[in-house]
């Protein structure tokens, strides 16, 4: 398995390490519940250095990105970040990603499990006036998330960050280490993501500085387990669970990033057709009794027949009950209505709800 620059620290902290997208990653350090609540109530740090980073350069970069992503790249001015996705011709989702306008180039941040597939797709569709470089192995990425994240980062950053708006970024330094700091994250909380050189020495230095600065706030290291429950409470999609090549962004609730008014992009014709004919299914939320955890693939029933499947499910530490996401037929996608989820052979009543599950 591949290792992030912080692997030694995870081992010293006795983290439970698992294989995730080919990387040895911490799933938890103490407990998912404790780490989840630390982020909701104060602050936590995630090592997400397994994510992929591509640099896209050249005179044709903007045109290329307009064609290959579903959002409006022309509105992405320097210093801004954009959430977007790439689709196949049939509208199926290749990956969801973040796009950064760094002035002289763009940076795309992709899911680790899709890195090779994404890179091949991009290079296949890039013209001779576009250069795509894979910087994943050279880039470390930490996510500092929670209501006290700004207080922590203010102690160590060399420039003021209090006025930074959501989905903006700046270039700065921490302990003389060049670092890109963005006001982003996948938890629904105030938070920042930090990109810098992937040497273990630099990564450990920044990690230790963050924990020194956050000690008074009870800062915690957070693993992939709590990362999943945090994003689920916010109704954020996880590639491979809630979205993939068999789902399109409109049924997944990502119509807000799907700019069908753009002149053209890969998958537009199929998505226009989907919208014209009407959605056959929708991704909805489900509230269940406390111990009724619905897992990926569990059947969802209505009127005595199967109407969909669960895509993600877990226990919500904030709500104190089980929550799930899943696709169901559009006629049944009514907030407040009831559905049946089959959990290990038992039929459990669930309430259909809009997402996010908690309001931030």
Q: What is the pLDDT of residue 315?
A: 97
C-alpha closest to that of 356 among 329, 318, 301 = 318
Distance of CA 252 to the CA centre of its chain: 14
Give the model confidence (pLDDT) of 288-346 as tens digits. 988 899 999 999 999 999 999 999 999 999 999 999 999 999 999 999 999 999 999 99
Bridge partners for 2 per DSSP: 23
Question: Residue 121 pLDDT more than 80?
Answer: yes
Mean pLDDT of the chain: 97
Give the DSSP H/E element, type plus range, for residue 125.
Answer: helix 115-125
Q: What is the pLDDT of residue 229?
A: 98
pLDDT bin (cut points 50, 70, 90) of residue 223 is: very high
Question: Residue 360 pLDDT more than 80?
Answer: no
Instruction: Give me the percent of the chain exceeding a pLDDT of 90.
Output: 99
Domains of the chain in start order, with CATH, are: 1-275 (3.30.1360.120), 280-360 (2.40.30.110)
Handedness of CA 86, 88, 93, 94 (dihedral sign): negative
Please give the Cα distance from 151 to 160 (Å, whole number). Answer: 11
Q: What is the pLDDT of residue 290?
A: 81
Question: Residue 160 pLDDT more than 80?
Answer: yes
Question: Residue 17 pLDDT more than 80?
Answer: yes
Query: 63: burial class by Cβ within 10 Å (0-12, 13-18, 19+)?
Result: middle
Q: Which residue has the tokens 């890179």?
A: 119
DSSP for 190-229, please give it.
SEEEEEEE--HHHHHHHHHHHHHHHGGGT-EEE-HHHHHH
Question: Residue 274 pLDDT more than 90?
Answer: yes
Instruction: Take residue 268 and report the two structure tokens written for it.
Output: 């537009």
Question: Residue 231 pLDDT more than 80?
Answer: yes
């Amino acid at each position: 398995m591949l290792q992030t620059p912080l692997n030694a620290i995870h081992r010293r902290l006795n983290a439970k390490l698992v294989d995730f997208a080919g990387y040895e990653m911490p799933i938890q350090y103490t407990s998912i519940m404790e780490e989840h609540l630390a982020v909701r109530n104060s602050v936590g740090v995630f090592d997400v250095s397994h994510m992929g980073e591509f640099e896209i350069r050249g005179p044709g970069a903007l045109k290329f990105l307009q064609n290959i992503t579903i959002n409006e790249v022309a509105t992405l001015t320097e210093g801004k970040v954009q959430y977007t996705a790439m689709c196949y011709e049939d509208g199926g989702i290749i990956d969801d990603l973040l796009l950064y306008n760094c002035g002289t180039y763009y940076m795309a941040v992709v899911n680790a499990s899709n890195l090779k597939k994404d890179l091949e797709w991009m290079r296949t569709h890039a013209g001779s006036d576009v250069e795509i470089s894979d910087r994943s192995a050279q880039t470390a990425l930490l996510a500092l998330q929670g209501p006290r994240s700004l207080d922590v980062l203010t102690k160590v950053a060399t420039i003021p960050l209090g006025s930074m708006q959501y989905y903006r970024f700046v270039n700065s330094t921490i302990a003389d280490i060049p670092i890109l700091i963005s006001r982003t994250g996948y938890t629904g909380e105030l938070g920042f993501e930090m990109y810098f050189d992937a040497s273990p020495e630099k990564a450990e230095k920044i990690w230790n500085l963050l924990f020194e600065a956050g000690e008074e706030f009870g800062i915690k290291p957070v693993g992939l387990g709590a990362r999943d429950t945090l994003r689920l409470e916010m109704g954020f999609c996880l590639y491979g669970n809630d979205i993939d090549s068999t789902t399109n962004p409109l049924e997944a609730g990502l119509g807000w990033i799907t700019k069908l008014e753009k002149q053209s992009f890969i998958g537009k014709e199929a998505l226009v057709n989907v919208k014209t004919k009407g959605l056959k299914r929708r991704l909805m939320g489900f509230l269940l009794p406390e111990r009724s955890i619905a897992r990926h693939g569990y059947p969802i029933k209505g009127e005595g027949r199967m109407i969909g499947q669960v895509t993600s499910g877990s226990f919500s530490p904030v709500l104190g009950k089980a929550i799930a996401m899943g696709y169901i037929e559009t006629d049944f996608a009514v907030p407040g209505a009831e559905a049946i989820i089959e959990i290990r052979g038992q039929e459990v009543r669930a309430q259909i709800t809009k997402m996010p599950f908690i309001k931030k």
